[in-house]
A and B are shown apart, each in its own frame.
Chain A
Amino acid sequence: MRKLKKTIGILTMTLVTLTAMSCKDGKKEGAAEPMSNEMHQEDGNNQDGSKQMANAGSNASDAIIDNYLKIKNALVADNQEKAAEAGGNLVADFDDFDKASYSSEEQQELTDIIEDAKEHAEHISESPMEHQREHFDILSKDIIDMIAITGTDKKLYQDFCPMYNDNKGAQWLSASKEIKNPYYGSKMMGCGEVQKEIN
């Protein structure tokens, strides 16, 4: 009789263990929704009034550019966490992007760009800093190509660092004229030059 009790006890414990384990199937899916949409202070040292424009502008790419610039600023500051956070928000921005107002050819191009860029944003949201920078390099190209189609109200500077990626060079966008390198951060803050001014 005691043995039976013990057996039942064991089986119950096992069942509980199994039930508890099967619950983990739900996983931690779903990117963390952007909780804070407050303006980024670090970008505040830009003299131009791009902020006000961002609020007024109805351009769909504005949110994307804002979060892109947040990633850029975080990488300039060697801040992996902030870059990751902005990367997560950027993923959501790409999902929200509405292509309806563009021609079908442009839509195709935008689909390609966004599909690629979203993956880089995802990686930025979960990688160590050196990987974030690698993905930021390709992401920058995507964003530059996207702006070529969508346009923007913002004043942007297209910068170029000739050293990054084994001297193959890498571009990035900034809202201020002063060079602050996101690929090397504090190691080589001033490396690079303005290639082009957008707007």
Chain B
Amino acid sequence: MKIIKIIVLVLLVAFVGIQFISTSRNLSSTVPKTDFMLVNKVPTTIQNKLQISCYDCHSNNTGYPWYNKIQPAAWFLEDHIKEGKAELNFNEWGEYSDRRKNSKLRSIISQIEDDEMPLDSYTLIHTDAKLSEDGRTEIIAFMTQLKNDL
């Protein structure tokens, strides 16, 4: 009994302790000229879908959920966002060469086709980010067109 008490206490203190470890936050109030929506003519419906389903991890500005400051959730988020941005940053679209745009578009299409993006762990909480069958078809058609026009 005593040992359980100690363990719980240790965990509790550790939990409080890790709250002091800060994480870098992905926030930006400006949208650069190189943003995907500014470089391309994107229909509003698709703009909205991309904004809701992709931009949290694939741009310089994340709409953080309420638990974003609580560790260890914050680490988990930070990691995902870092990885997501390294892979594809919609804000930097205009800086990509045509060759890379082509690669990125191909990956976007294949990820959405295979239903791998948005991540399940993301849509679990952001239920509105989950793409419907129609939404997916729409985005894939748009991205394919963009790729063919390169």
Contacts and interface: CB of A to CB of B under 8 A. Distances in A.
Interface of A: 6, 10-11, 13-14, 17-18, 21-22, 112-113, 115-116, 119-120, 134, 138, 142
A115 B100 contact: yes
A22 B14 CA distance: 12
Interface residues of B, number: 16
B6 interface: yes
Return the 6 tightest CB-CB contacts between A and B, nearest first: A112-B97, A14-B13, A116-B99, A116-B100, A14-B14, A112-B99
Interface in B85-119: 97-100, 102-103, 106, 110
Interface of B: 6, 9-10, 13-14, 17-18, 21, 97-100, 102-103, 106, 110
Contacts, number: 39
Contact of B99 (A17, A21, A113): A113
Given A21-B18, A22-B21, A10 B100 contact: no
Contacts of B110: 134
Contacts of A17: 10, 14
A138 B103 contact: yes
Contacts of A11: 13
A77 to B, nearest CB: 24
A17 B13 CA distance: 11
A11 B10 CA distance: 8
A22 B21 CA distance: 9
Given A10-B6, A134-B110, A115 B97 contact: yes
22 contacts: A6-B6, A10-B9, A11-B13, A13-B10, A14-B10, A14-B17, A18-B14, A18-B18, A112-B97, A112-B99, A112-B100, A113-B99, A115-B99, A115-B100, A116-B97, A116-B99, A116-B100, A116-B103, A119-B100, A134-B110, A138-B106, A142-B99
Q: Which of A10, A14, A21, A134: most chain B Cβ within 10 A?
A: A14
A10 B10 contact: yes
Given A14-B10, A116-B99, 20 more contacts: A10-B9, A10-B13, A11-B13, A13-B10, A17-B10, A17-B14, A18-B14, A18-B17, A18-B18, A21-B18, A112-B97, A112-B98, A112-B100, A115-B99, A115-B100, A116-B97, A116-B103, A120-B103, A138-B102, A138-B103
Nearest to A22: B21
Contacts of B21: 22
Contacts of A134: 106, 110
A120 B110 CA distance: 14
Contacts of A13: 10
A81 to B, nearest CB: 22
A22 B20 CA distance: 12
Contacts of B100: 112, 115-116, 119
Contacts of B99: 112-113, 115-116, 142
Nearest to A14: B13
Nearest to A27: B79
B71 to A, nearest CB: 10
